A = this chain, B = another copy of it.
């Protein structure tokens, strides 16, 4: 048996807690997922903390950590990934993830009523975004570009001399809290904070009485009257996934940020027909694409966003349905080629009971012909607690994947000068020539 290829499936926000609407079972326990159960029965389960015990990952930091990057030193900030997902190249400038939100003015403060403006539709958001798409700030010294992506999501880019990503978040992340002052963490960021404040006020003035919002109010919908930026980020200098882990990687994803992370790590990114980044995505199309890509790549990352969307909506029944639909799509993987490793997990927990990311551990499944097997019978938490993959943190996952794909280099060997952890390809080696 040579080296295996890998299909790595992230069910976003997979981890969860017992839910009163599921008879106090978790979504994984409640869902009918015979294909994942079959893989669990043939493979091993475990529990992983994407960052470390109790730390709630963001979707970006959860992914980066699972991909084997040190988020304490290599995390560039979320805005970058959003921008890269939209094919915006950032040679310079600062990028922010930014939501359309609903605020209420009160004593000069802006109290957040909904951080997602009632999960505004793409059409409304696009029309509003047009109004604030470009702005000259600080008397033309800084140029602001706002771009809408999906639903309430978008990003803001500030370009100009002497900007810095070291500013605190404007988004307070909690309903009922005031919009926050962007505070420069060091002196280099003072100008960035000033430009950001001008953008916030001018965007608010443009949005609050906009025709779209007037109509939304008439229809009983929340107005999208504020832009909430967070996650200031400078263009990253991330080592490509291929040189760090030795794989030739491809991604199958629809959500902009996930495509952005994959691009930032040098994956080739594919969004097949019907893949939407929403609960109604065509999962069979995505898994089919992943199987096709095995001809040209050896590490296929498949991202499923629907599980997380359902969790943020606190809708456990929807999460169960997404899991069941994903499971149908996974049928071809239950009898995989001999040289395939299948890994299924989540980038973090999003318990439907709390509707936000948590630091709970996340079940994980490793399955491939000839690989270890435990006595798990179902892909669910109780089996995963005692499974053959044990408990570990995200920083160990890529080493485990190298190992179970039979690509891990024995510790201490030094075939090339760099500190690589995978068995190098012959073209990475320097032959001794007479």
Contacts and interface: CB of A to CB of B under 8 A. Distances in A.
A429 B109 contact: no
B169 A413 contact: yes
A372 interface: yes
Contact of A1 (B110, B354, B371, B411): B354
Interface string A156-181: 00000000000011111110011111
Given A54-B403, A358-B408, A370-B18, A415 B178 contact: no
B24 A373 contact: yes
A431 B56 CA distance: 24
With most chain B CB atoms within 10 A of its CB, the pick from A172, A200, A398 is: A172
Interface stretch (A263-271, A323-331, A416-424): A416-424
B391 A431 contact: no
A421 B55 CA distance: 8
A58 B434 CA distance: 30
A431 B179 contact: yes
Interface in A59-79: 60-61, 71, 75, 77-78
A244 interface: no
B415 A169 contact: yes
Contact of A412 (B231, B412, B415): B231
Nearest to A200: B432
B178 A412 contact: no
B410 A56 contact: yes
Interface stretch (A45-53, A84-92, A144-152): A45-53
Nearest to A17: B372
Interface stretch (A127-135, A216-224, A303-311, A381-389): A381-389
A297 interface: no
The 9 A-B pairs of least Cβ separation, nearest first, read A54-B399, A359-B403, A178-B431, A54-B400, A53-B396, A54-B403, A390-B391, A58-B412, A181-B430
Interface of A: 1, 17-18, 20, 24, 47, 51-58, 60-61, 71, 75, 77-78, 105, 108-110, 168-174, 177-183, 185, 197, 200-201, 230-232, 353-354, 356-361, 370-375, 381-382, 385-388, 390-392, 396, 398-404, 406, 408-417, 421, 423, 426, 429-434
